[in-house]
Amino acid sequence: MKKDIYIPKVENVHLAVVYEYNDIYKSNDWNAYIINDKEVDLEMVLIVTRGYSETKETSTMRHKLDKLPAKSFAKIELMQEAVLQLNNEFKVTFFENNTLFDKTYLFRKNTINIKALQTMPLMNKKGVLVK
């Protein structure tokens, strides 16, 4: 049954929202990234995202990465300024050495902002991190 399924704790996999310059549109954008700070590859990474508040909710977005190599990162999606005022939830599921891992990352409303920028692990960029 459900209580018999063991899902181990996720460590060294982070979510970051990075503030970076977009050369095409000549603007600064907020982009969500997944960071694999492990020594092993992650396989079949599934990411489900949504923004919500007491009165508003965004569409649910789904993303898939076949493989996220060790000590690497991948862009998930562009985040518009309007959704930064909402709670932004990222549900991440992946396999590591044939073991299923699952974790929900939450950026609380208004926590993604210029004042909260810090250097991201493995990236030479500034952003907001959730571990």
Q: What are the extents of the domains in the chain?
A: 12-118
Q: What pLDDT is recorded for position 5?
A: 75
In CATH terms, the fold of domain 12-118 is Immunoglobulin-like (2.60.40)
Binned average pLDDT, 10 residues per bin, the chain of 131 residues: 79 96 92 97 98 96 98 96 96 95 96 94 94 84
Q: Is 130 helix (H, G, I), strand (E, B) or coil?
A: strand
pLDDT at 1: 64
Sign of CA dihedral 106, 110, 111, 113: positive
Q: Which residues pair with 85 in a beta bridge?
A: none
